[in-house]
Chain A
Amino acid sequence: MTEETGSNAYWRANIRLVKVCLIIWALVSFGFGIILRPLLAGIQIGGTDLGFWFAQQGSILVFLALIFFYAFRMNALDKKHGVDEESPVATQGTRPAVNESDRGAPR
Chain B
Amino acid sequence: MSQYALNLIVVGSTFLLYIGIAIWARAGSTSEFYAANRGVHPVTNGMATAADWMSAASFISMAGLIAFVGYDNSSFLMGWTGGYVLLALLLAPYLRKFGKFTVPEFIGDRFYSTTARLVAVACLIIASITYVIGQMTGVGVAFSRFLEVSNTAGLFIGAAIVFFYAVLGGMKGITYTQVAQYCVLILAYTVPAIFISLQLTGVALPPLGLFAEHQGSGVPLLTKLDQVVTELGFASYTEHHTNTLNMVLFTLSLMIGTAGLPHVIIRFFTVPKVSDARWSAGWALVFIALLYLTAPAVGAMARLNLMETVYPDGASGAEGERFVNDFVDDLVMTIESWRPIDPTPA
Contact = CB atoms under 8 A, between A and B. Distances in A.
**A and B from one complex:** yes
Interface of A: 18, 21-22, 25, 29-30, 33-35, 37, 45-49, 52-53, 55-57, 59-61, 63-64, 66-68, 70-71, 74-75, 78, 84-85, 87, 89, 91-93, 97-101, 103-105
A61 B84 CA distance: 12
Contact of B251 (A34, A48, A100, A103): A34
Nearest to A103: B97
Contact of A93 (B38, B100, B224, B289): B38
Contacts, number: 155
Interface in B112-142: none
Interface centre among B82, B252, B281 (most CB of A within 10 A): B82
Given A34-B247, A59-B82, A91-B38, 9 more contacts: A29-B82, A46-B211, A47-B219, A84-B274, A85-B273, A89-B273, A93-B37, A101-B99, A104-B97
A26 B240 CA distance: 19
Contacts of B98: 100-101
B210 A30 contact: no
Contacts of A78: 274-275
A64 B292 CA distance: 12
| Chain A contact surface mostly | helix
Contacts of B285: 63-64, 67
Interface string B179-216: 00000000000000000000000000001001110000
Contacts of B306: none
A30 B289 contact: no
A37 B244 CA distance: 10
Contacts of A89: 272-273
27 contacts: A30-B252, A34-B240, A34-B247, A47-B221, A48-B211, A48-B238, A52-B222, A55-B78, A56-B66, A60-B293, A61-B293, A63-B85, A64-B282, A67-B281, A67-B282, A68-B279, A70-B88, A70-B278, A71-B279, A71-B282, A74-B278, A78-B275, A92-B39, A93-B37, A100-B97, A101-B98, A103-B97
Contacts of A34: 240, 244, 247-248, 251
A103 B278 CA distance: 17
A67 B223 CA distance: 33
Contacts of B84: 63, 67
B74 interface: yes
B99 A71 contact: no
